[in-house]
Amino acid sequence: MLKSLCQKMFGRSLWVYHANSGGCNGCDIEVLNALTPYYDAERFGIRLVGSPRHADVMLCQGPAMRSTAKALQRAYEAMPAPKLVFAIGSCACGGGIWHDTYSVIGPLEKLLPVNYYVPGCPPRPEAIIYGVAVALGLVEKKSAPVQFKQMEYPVPRYHPQDLKEQDGIVVYEKLDTV
Partner 1 sequence: MSLTSKLQEVLVCLRAGRVTLPYPAQSAPLPPRFRGRPIFDASKCIGCGGCASNCPAREILVYDVCQEIRILKYLGRRCTYCGRCADVCPEKAITMSHEFETATGTIGDIQQRLDLFMSTCQRCGRCFTEPSKLEELKLKGYRYDDLENERWIFRSQAYLEGQPVVDDIEIELD
| 136, 47 contact by CB (below 8 A) | no
For the CB of residue 128, give the shortest distance to ligand SF4 in the complex, in Å: 11
Closer residue to ligand SF4 in complex, CB, 6/30: 30
For the CB of residue 62, give the shortest distance to ligand SF4 in the complex, in Å: 5
CA trace torsion 48, 51, 53, 57 (10° rounding): 40
Q: What does the DSSP assignment read for 84-136? A: EEEEEHHHHHH--TTTTSTTEEESGGGTS---EEE-SSSPPHHHHHHHHHHHH
Can you tell me the distance from the alpha carbon of 90 to that of 113, in angstroms, rounded to the nearest whole number?
16
What does the per-residue mask of binding to ligand SF4 show for 75-104, with x meaning CB under 6 A?
Answer: --------------xxx----x--------
For the CB of residue 51, give the shortest distance to partner 1 in the complex, in Å: 25
| Contact footprint for partner 1 (CB under 8 A) | 2-3, 37-40, 43, 66, 69, 90-91, 93-97, 99-100, 102, 104-107, 109-111, 115-121, 123-124, 126-131, 133-135, 138-139, 141-151, 153-155, 158
When CB distances are held under 5 to 8 angstroms depending on the partner's kind, the choice from partner 1, ligand SF4, none that residue 54 binds is none
CB under 8 Å to 66, separation ≥6 — which residues? 103, 104, 105
For the CB of residue 149, give the shortest distance to partner 1 in the complex, in Å: 5
